[in-house]
Structure 1
Amino acid sequence: MPVFMRQTSYIKPILIQLAVLAVICLSVVLWQREFLSEVYLRNQLTQVGWFINGGIVLLFLSGMYQLVRLFISYSLEEQAMGQFLDNMDSGTDPERGVAEGTIILRRYRTLRDLHDRRSPVNHNALAATLVADESSRNSFPRFVQNVLILTGVFGTIVSLSVALFGASNMVATATEIGGLGMVIHGMSAALSTTMTAILAYLFFGYFYLR
């Protein structure tokens, strides 16, 4: 029974932390909505900042959605493990009440079939197969984790290019006021894209590494 309690207590705290941090972030956004709207929405001479920031947010939300799905699936795996251990302790059918397709049920059936055929059990091969299967499920969150910070760098480079374009216009025409506005806009877009990518990377990376 203590093993069951330790296993079922691992995923739920992570989901609770995720919910709490999401509420805190939403509260901060509502509290600083004027500042954020000034940085992200107002006085935008081009659509560069909107497109890059929108891409970062979309990538972040997609990764978080997949991450939450994985957490929920692992929570179900913990419940299945607990039910399996209870069945073993009580001497009932080990498969009773255990959801189909769970890792523990598939492993139990594999071992039972090998035992019935009197075949040797290679636990290393079974473990390697399980690791490969789970790694394929984690491929998209891993991709998001690796790409998020690069999107901030990409946004900074593009935005600074916009600022340099405005500076070149100022040099070409000393009376060109639009060039100064383009410089300011480019620097603002560089700040916003970098800030968005860093915050998304930190939030996503914390839960991905759990």
Structure 2
Amino acid sequence: MTSQAYFAVAQIILLLVAIAAFLIFNRSIVEQFFEVTKAGFQGWWLNGVIIALFLIGLLRIVWLLLSYAREQALLNSFVERARDKVANPTYKMPLEALIVERYQAVGILAQQQTEIDQAALAGVTATSESTRFTLVRFVNNTLILLGVLGTVISLSSSLMGAAGLLDSPDNVQNMGVIIGGMAAALSKTMTAIVCYLFFAYFNLRLQDVRNQFLANLEGATTLYIAPRFRTIESNMLHDVATLANELRAAAETIGTVQDRFLAAGERLQVAVSDLQAHTLKISNSSDDLRIIRDSIREGFRLDSRVVSTSVRSERSS
């Protein structure tokens, strides 16, 4: 992020140098563009107001970019100290640095045994930082309006010259006023548009640097500041939550094992039923053999001992 800030500053410096070189080496073209007449003098001071406001806005952007580069350097130093387990990572850092203010704010919340609401802290920081962009927003919203205002003033001068020309058609001076007013209106519109384009680009670069720094600040708060000031209650809640998750996982495992036991019990019950059916079938077979034996004995008028002996011999064979 620091490199982005310095790169944007270098771009602004190169732009200003290029504009100054163009004005110096093309002075005659610039004077013809702004045409020093009665209306041309209006063009000079109105365009001067637009350019002065543009330069003031650029200087403010440069100041903010350098400020965020310095804040990022302090944040990097804080992160390095926190990784090295330094007792006080903000030692000898300026109190107005954002990372120092965040560290102190989290420490105060921890001393009061209050839950650390990082979203609220981020909102406070973002709101505080937005107040530094008042001038930048003003310039960004005013450049085009100044161009429109200059155009309206120049066209008004042209209309006044047109009214004088109608009163005396032979007055050539009024014709010059009309032409000069139209030229001044065009120059102010072009000046405002060009200044707005460059200013809008650098404003977007500034917003990118700001957003990146705030993201880095929140990341440092989450990873290095909040864990240092975690209260006992927070630890207990964290442990309870972890235990609850483990108990839930154990309950799910027990439920799975129980389902397996139920399935095994059902299979065992089916096997017992099959065994009972097979035993009943064997018992029925024994009754049939007894009936056959009695029939043979009655049919052949045999002694029961002879039939029993024959049956045993058949079974043994």
TM above 0.5:
yes
SS at match of 2:104: helix
Q: CA deviation at 1:97?
A: 4.4
Aligned to 2:109: 114
Residues 170-209 of structure 1 aligned to structure 2 (within 5 Å): 170-209=165-204
Q: CA deviation at 1:99?
A: 2.7
Structure 2 residue corresponding to 1:167, chosen from 154, 162, 165 = 162
Q: Which amino acid aligns with 2:162?
A: A
- Tell me the distance in 1 between the aligned counterparts of 2:165 and 2:182: 15
1:44 aligned to 2:37?
yes
Check conservation: 1:87, 1:96, Cα contact below 8 A.
no
- Tell me the distance in 2 between the aligned counterparts of 1:65 and 1:15: 10
- Tell me the distance in 1 between the aligned counterparts of 2:3 and 2:21: 28
Check conservation: 2:12, 2:58, Cα contact below 8 A.
no
Q: CA deviation at 1:169?
A: 1.4
Instruction: Write out the 4+ residue segments of structure 1 that deviate beyond 3 Å after TM superposition.
Output: none
SS at match of 2:113: coil
- Tell me the distance in 2 between the aligned counterparts of 1:179 and 1:106: 65
Q: Which has more radius of gyration?
A: 2
1:53 aligned to 2:32?
no
Q: Which runs of 5+ in 2 are unaligned?
A: 206-317
Q: How many residues align?
A: 203
Check conservation: 2:143, 2:195, Cα contact below 8 A.
yes
Structure 1 residue corresponding to 2:10, chosen from 16, 31, 34 = 16
Aligned to 1:3: none
- Tell me the distance in 2 between the aligned counterparts of 1:177 and 1:9: 59
1:123 aligned to 2:118?
yes
Q: Which amino acid aligns with 1:31?
A: F
Q: Which amino acid aligns with 1:182?
A: V
Q: CA deviation at 1:176?
A: 0.4
Q: Which amino acid aligns with 1:80?
A: L
Q: Deviations over 1:60-101 (max 9, x none)?
A: 122122211111111111111111111112222311343321
Check conservation: 1:48, 1:159, Cα contact below 8 A.
yes
Q: CA deviation at 1:10?
A: 2.3
Aligned to 2:133: 138
Q: Deviations over 1:44-69 (max 9, x none)?
A: 21432223112212211221222111
- Tell me the distance in 2 between the aligned counterparts of 1:206 and 1:8: 18
Q: Which runs of 5+ in 1 are unaligned?
A: 1-6
- Tell me the distance in 1 between the aligned counterparts of 2:92 and 2:18: 38
TM-score, structure 1 length as denominator? 0.90
- Tell me the distance in 1 between the aligned counterparts of 2:108 and 2:157: 65
Q: Which amino acid aligns with 1:44?
A: T
- Tell me the distance in 2 between the aligned counterparts of 1:71 and 1:97: 23
Q: CA deviation at 1:121?
A: 0.9
SS at match of 2:38: coil
Aligned to 2:67: 73
